[in-house]
Structure 1
Amino acid sequence: MGELEDFSLEGELTEEARKQRNLLIKQKQEEFERKQLMNVEEEVKKSVKKKVNFNWRLWLVVLLVLFLLGALVYFLGLA
């Protein structure tokens, strides 16, 4: 009888250890998924920022060219 009780006690400990292990695995997976989501968000922000900066520079160049063309027409009109 003593061996049977010890075996059932070990089984309960094993079950408890299994529950803790599964909980730890679940926490690690959630943490990993959270980190992946944060990395994806950072990549999206960087990508959007690059596109916005590119568009901003493009419009700046277009406005500069238009200004220079307007100045050229103005001075040629005066000359």
Structure 2
Amino acid sequence: MFVPYVGTEEWITSLNLSIDYTWRPWFVNGQVAGYTKAYTRKAYSLTYATVKGAGHAATEYNPRECFPMIDRWLSYYYI
């Protein structure tokens, strides 16, 4: 893996956030595009999203999945 998945998980854990929900799939055109996990702490929230089958440059290898993910983030849509 090119993206440090384990390192990202460790960093998120170090933030001492509560888990809002554990891994669940998100979809694009009826297909699983990736998985999300949400964290909260007081008035703050963090959603960690993955793109299924993507490498280091997810937008290059999976643009059909990445565009909706970014679009949802910019419009405050919860995956």
Higher relative contact order (CA 8 A, sep 6+): 2
- Structure number having the greater strand percentage: 2
Report the TM-score, using the length of structure 2 for normalisation: 0.20
- Structure number having the greater helix percentage: 1
Report the TM-score, using the length of structure 1 for normalisation: 0.20
The structure having more radius of gyration, on CA atoms, is 1
